[in-house]
Amino acid sequence: MSDSAPEERIRAPWELQEGWQHLARCRGSDASLFFSPTYLEKRDVRADREAKARAICAECAVKRDCLDFALSTREPHGIWGGFNEIERRAILARRVG
């Protein structure tokens, strides 16, 4: 038995068992567009990657469901509903404040 904490598993919208995820525009997309790499990502590289992911989200029929899910589960990683984790934290902070 290991003493180390279990490795956090990054979930992607298209891997969920939610009704809306079957309509996810990102199904079959490159997950690396939606999630930061494990190494430090340069600001301009991140902006470019996120812009590509947001373009997919912009055409997604379930972006509201996706965003609601990410907000309600405090999803800590990735672009969900067109918003990255920093933007989602700001949305939640505005709701509380």
Residues of this chain that bind ligand SF4 (CB under 6 A): 13, 24-26, 34, 56-57, 60, 62-63, 66, 79-82
Residue 96: CB minimum distance to ligand SF4, A: 23
Q: Rounded to an integer, what distance in angstroms lies between the CA atom of residue 68 and that of residue 82?
A: 11
Residue 7: CB minimum distance to ligand SF4, A: 22
Closer residue to ligand SF4, CB minimum distance, 6 or 36: 36
Residue 66: CB minimum distance to ligand SF4, A: 3
Question: What are the φ and ψ backbone dihedral angles of 83, each rounded to 5 degrees?
Answer: -120, 135
Closer residue to ligand SF4, CB minimum distance, 5 or 24: 24
Q: What is the residue type of 57?
A: C
Burial of 20 (0-12, 13-18, 19+ CB in 10 A): middle
| Residue 27 Rama label (left phi>0; alpha psi -120 to 50; beta) | beta
Closer residue to ligand SF4, CB minimum distance, 79 or 88: 79
Residue 71: CB minimum distance to ligand SF4, A: 12
